[in-house]
Amino acid sequence: MKKIEAIIQPSRFEAVKDALHEIGVDGLTVLEVRGHGRQKGHTEFYRGNEYTIDLLPKIKIETVLPDSLVDAAVQAILKTARTGKIGDGKIFLSNVDEAIRIRNEERGESAL
């Protein structure tokens, strides 16, 4: 099993969610986060004052999948989240040793 963490633009969330649902990914955890990478934020003017916005809003999607779905999920995220501009986000993959469903103590992939 693998855990996928994807940090994407908020405007791309619905497209990514729909693409993951189409390939059979049912469970997602979604967080509204703030951060910056290479773009380092930007400057805005409000009522004549200049403000630096250095932590930009992003969406973080987390899901744990069986190995058989990981490649399809990564491709779905890449295809739907990419705008071709700086700040499109990142995908992180990590191994998951065990998953346990609290309700009935199922373990492994059947707990997903």
pLDDT tops 70 at residue 41: no
pTM here? 0.85
Is domain 2-38+53-111 annotated with CATH 1.10.10.1400? no
- Computed over every residue of the chain, the mean pLDDT equals 92
Sign of CA dihedral 64, 65, 67, 73: negative
Do 86 and 32 contact (CB within 8 A), yes or no? no
Tell how far CA 63 is from the center of its chain.
Answer: 8
Beta bridge partners of 50: 45
pLDDT tops 90 at residue 25: yes
- Could you report the per-residue pLDDT of 42-83, keeping only the tens digit for each? 677 878 887 777 788 999 999 999 999 999 999 999 999 999
Task: Select from 65, 69, 92, 88 the least CA-distant residue to 11.
Answer: 88
Q: What is the mean pLDDT of residues 29-40?
A: 86
Cα–Cα dist 108/86, whole Å? 37
Q: What pLDDT is recorded for position 46?
A: 78
Higher pLDDT, 23 or 86: 23
Which amino acid is present at 63?
T
- Domain regions of the chain by residue span: 2-38+53-111
**Percentage of residues in the chain with pLDDT exceeding 70?**
96
